[in-house]
Amino acid sequence: MDRVPCIAGNWKMNKNITEALQLVEEMLPRLSELSGVERVVCPPFIALPAVAERLKDEDVFVGSQNVHWKEAGAFTGEISPTMLQDLCTFAIIGHSERRAYFGETDETVNLRVRAALDHGLRPIVCVGETLEQREAGQTIDVVSTQVSQGFADISKEDFRRVIVAYEPIWAIGTGKAATPEDANETIVASIRPVLTSMFGEDIAQATRIQYGGSVKSGNAAEFFQQPDIDGALVGGASLRADDFIAIVKAARG
């Protein structure tokens, strides 16, 4: 199955507007020219309009780091899908930092995914186990449940626009990546089979599944050699132009 790899840079709470534009400038035009891989940058909300404007004629997509499920209303601090739909192509949803620090659950992830899809956004949905869960042998259960609940009540047609990011939580920002074989095995054991039962074999096989967690220019290629890993969601290394470009290049094979 030919799946176009996708490399998304999650800048997290880093870079003000000026710094975000500087980083974009540093990556262009090299980033624009690396066809064959979908490239996405996800700056903080405040920098989205400036970055989207700068990238509008470039072959690089913009994504948000979250999206609320309501179009408007009394939800202090949230950003709605209607506010994002003209700025972004992608929206990261259910990142483990949102789940761990901001009370995000599989139910709210599901609401956000459905709202994003209803507004034409392409969700990048994060799933993954903690170290405790891994050591207790619960990885398959935990990840399968995140997938089945996170993608409940979504039509096959809409699901085609979803990317899944498998991010073992213990590997995020720790410098301690999962082994590529382990990551591939978890995807094969707990993500594709659940997608098959929900959306059918064809869609499950066509779905892009990224790996995330301490991906660097030095280890990226090993992940992309795995048959079920279709790119990466990159945190720390996406803040450095040369590293991010090297990771995109590694995904071209």
Q: Which residues bind ligand PGA (CB under 6 A)?
A: 10, 167, 172-173, 212-215, 233-237
Catalytic residue among 68, 95, 104, 129: 95
Quick one: 195 or 237, whose CB is closer to ligand PGA?
237
Angle at 197 between CA 195 and CA 199, to 5 degrees: 60
Least Å from the CB of residue 74 to ligand PGA: 30
Active site residue 95: yes
Of all residues in this chain, which one has the CB nearest to ligand PGA in the complex? 235
How far apart (Å, rounded) are the C-alpha atoms in residues 253 and 105? 36
Catalytic residue among 38, 104, 129, 167: 167
- Contact by Cβ (8 Å): 169, 183: no
Least Å from the CB of residue 57 to ligand PGA: 27
Residue that has been written with the tokens 């404007």 in this structure: 53
Q: How far is residue 215 from each of residues 9, 46, 99, 188, 210, measured CA to CA in Å?
A: 11, 25, 21, 20, 11
- The tokens for 224 are 């992309």
Quick one: 207 or 210, whose CB is closer to ligand PGA?
210
Least Å from the CB of residue 238 to ligand PGA: 7
Quick one: 27 or 199, whose CB is closer to ligand PGA?
27
Rg, the chain, Cα only: 17
To the nearest 5 percent, what fractions of the chain are helix, strand and coil? 45, 15, 40
- Contact by Cβ (8 Å): 92, 66: yes
Amino acid of residue 147: V
Least Å from the CB of residue 175 to ligand PGA: 8
Quick one: 63 or 81, whose CB is closer to ligand PGA?
63
Active site residues: 95, 167
